[in-house]
Amino acid sequence: MGWCLCKCRPLSTFSSLLYSSKPSLPFPSTFLPSSSIKSSFFSCSISSSSALATGTFTWEDVFRVSQSAEEEEENNSSYLHGYFHKVQLCNRGSGKQSEFLPFVIEGQTVGFIHAGFVENFKSFNDVFVYIKDNSNGGSVGEFFSLHPMLKTAEERTSAVAYVIKCLGEKHIPGIRNELYPVVSSFGSPVLFSLERAAAPYFGIKAYGIHMNGYVEIDGQKHLWVGKRSNTKQTYPGMLDHLVAGGLPHGINCKENVAKECEEEAGIPRSISIRAKPVSAVSYMDIDGYRYKRDVLFCYDLKLPENFIPKNEDGEVESFKLIPIRQVAEVIRKTQFYKPNCALVVIDFLFRHGYITPENFGYLDLLRSLRIGECS
């Protein structure tokens, strides 16, 4: 065991259909898109409506876009371009996976850490170690791990927390003092818990809940849309779900939905208990030293027509109730939505019949909502 700061060997590729005509995907090879689909959709451009800087738009801008739909046939070959672009925004940097080392605990790969970022851990030899494994048929595998003396989840959590505290905001901005469980897959034993802001720097799987709160008026679905506070550290001023949040250690999805409903929209448990788990989306995004491998559990909640949400935690500036077809136009034509929220709304559009098999590229878009390892 010891520190090895040479360039790490390439990891097995997780390239998605967004980057290659013959990608290696986390789903069966029968799902590979045709070259015509790839060339048609994955070169999509951003519409002029996206020219406004993200977060600087107003509700007036939102309504202007949503109500000015051009006459466009929903079955023409370009109709889904805007949706594919939102998938791209959540799945960047696949070509940089070779820059990351596997993060292995108890023989299980739980994350990926950039070879440059581990420079920050050189003085913490009693917490972090590099290992070269020659046991696999003579080949050398390099990976990153925790010191073997840290045997329990509690010991690992405490030791890693100390390192993160020492590194501070300079290296890990946005520290929230909120712990995420580190697991090899959803529901598997928790190997330790990690500061939420550090999760992408360790490339761990992070889980969250996103809830579509909708109302039916005269047979038409309307979606409650939140506009994030301008003081939010991430994606200030952008559009968001009625309710969404990460899944911290020690709470299940159902309870987290109820908690977030109260905090973010003032929805009492007597109503939030009706929220239905309906789907999941996943993505993997590399941005510098950050490697996000997220799975979002999607919920739908049909709300009474007279319900008015009220934010309780100061993270949402305001809410608007918007016809779902107009929400769809905003997602297609702008970058007003927080990117991962756009994926969840696109999933809603599939499930409620607003995107149909008649739309050219239907199956490719449907598969692309789960590019990340959904486990």
Distance, CA of 103 to CA of 114 (rounded, Å)? 10
- How many CB atoms are closer than 10 A to CB 182? 26
CATH code, 222: 3.90.79.10
The pLDDT mean for the chain works out to: 85
| Average pLDDT of span 206-223 | 97
pLDDT of residue 66: 85
Q: State whether 124 and 135 are in the same domain.
A: yes
CB 283 within 8 A of CB 277: no
72: in domain: no
- Counting the structural domains of the chain, the total is 2
Residue 41 belongs to some domain of the structure: no
State whether 131 and 227 are in the same domain: no
Residues 149 and 210 in one domain: no
Which domain does 310 fall in, by range? 78-94+206-369
In this model, does residue 4 exceed pLDDT 70? Answer: no
Query: Over 50: is that where the pLDDT of 351 sits?
Result: yes
Six-digit token string for 199 = 């999760």
- The pLDDT confidence band at residue 324, using thresholds 50, 70 and 90, is very high
- Residue at 59 is within a domain: no
Phi, psi of 299 (to 5 degrees): -125, 150
Same domain for 282 and 350, yes or no, is yes
pLDDT mean over 228-243: 94
Residue 211 is assigned to a structural domain of this protein: yes
Reported as a single tens digit per residue, the pLDDT across 59-83 is: 999 999 988 655 455 667 789 999 9
Query: Can you read off the two tokens belonging to residue 232?
Result: 């939010």
Determine, yes or no, domain membership for 65: no
Are both 187 and 315 inside the same structural domain? no
Q: What is the CATH number of the domain that holds 165?
A: 3.30.750.160
Q: What is the mean pLDDT of residues 197-202?
A: 97
Between 40 and 315, the more confident residue is: 315
How much is the pLDDT for 164? 97
Q: What average pLDDT does this structure show over 113-141?
A: 81
Measuring CA to CA, how many Å separate 41 from each of 35, 105, 107, 280, 364?
10, 39, 40, 23, 9
- Percent of the chain exceeding pLDDT 70 equals 81
pLDDT at 56: 85
Mean pLDDT across the stretch 231-257? 94
* Closest-CA residue to 202 (of 157, 247, 237): 157
Residue that terminates a domain, selected from 161, 176, 202: 202
Q: Spell out the residues 6+ positions from residue 151 whose beta carbon is closer than 8 angstroms to its own.
A: none
Same domain, 252 and 312: yes
Highest mean pLDDT range out of 67-81, 115-129, 135-149? 115-129
pLDDT of residue 74: 63
Residue 101 included in any domain:
yes
Segment 104-119 mean pLDDT: 95
Q: What is the pLDDT of residue 77?
A: 79
Note the pLDDT of residue 137: 46
Q: Which of 202, 220, 243 finishes a domain?
A: 202
Q: Which residue has the higher pLDDT, 285 or 51?
A: 285
End-to-end CA distance of the chain: 30
Same domain, 139 and 221: no
Q: Answer yes or no: is pLDDT of 26 > 50.
A: no
Same domain, 210 and 175: no
Indicate whether 16 pLDDT > 50. no
pLDDT mean over 278-307:
98
Q: Roughly what angle, to the nearest 10 degrees, separates helices 59-66 and 324-333?
A: 100
Q: Is the pLDDT of residue 38 over 60?
A: no
86 & 191 share domain: no
Mean pLDDT of 39-64: 60
> Which pairs with CB-CB distance under 8 Å and at least 24 residues apart come from 165-168?
166/124, 167/120
- Which tops the pLDDT comparison, 265 or 139? 265
Is the pLDDT reported for residue 15 higher than 80? Answer: no
Q: Evaluate whether residue 8 is within a structural domain.
A: no
Q: Is residue 7 part of a domain?
A: no
> Where does a domain end: 169, 185, 202?
202
What pLDDT, on the 0 to 100 scale, is given for residue 343?
98
Across the range 114-120, mean pLDDT stands at 95
What are the residue ranges of helices labelled H in 229-354?
A: 253-265, 269-272, 324-333, 339-351
Residues 194 and 88 in one domain: no
pTM of the model: 0.85
Q: Per mean pLDDT, which range of 26-35, 143-152, 186-195, 253-262 is the poorest?
A: 26-35
**286 and 221 belong to one structural domain:** yes
Which distant-in-sequence residues (6+ apart) come within 8 Å of 267 by Cβ?
A: 213, 243, 261, 301, 303, 307, 309
228 and 150 in a common domain: no
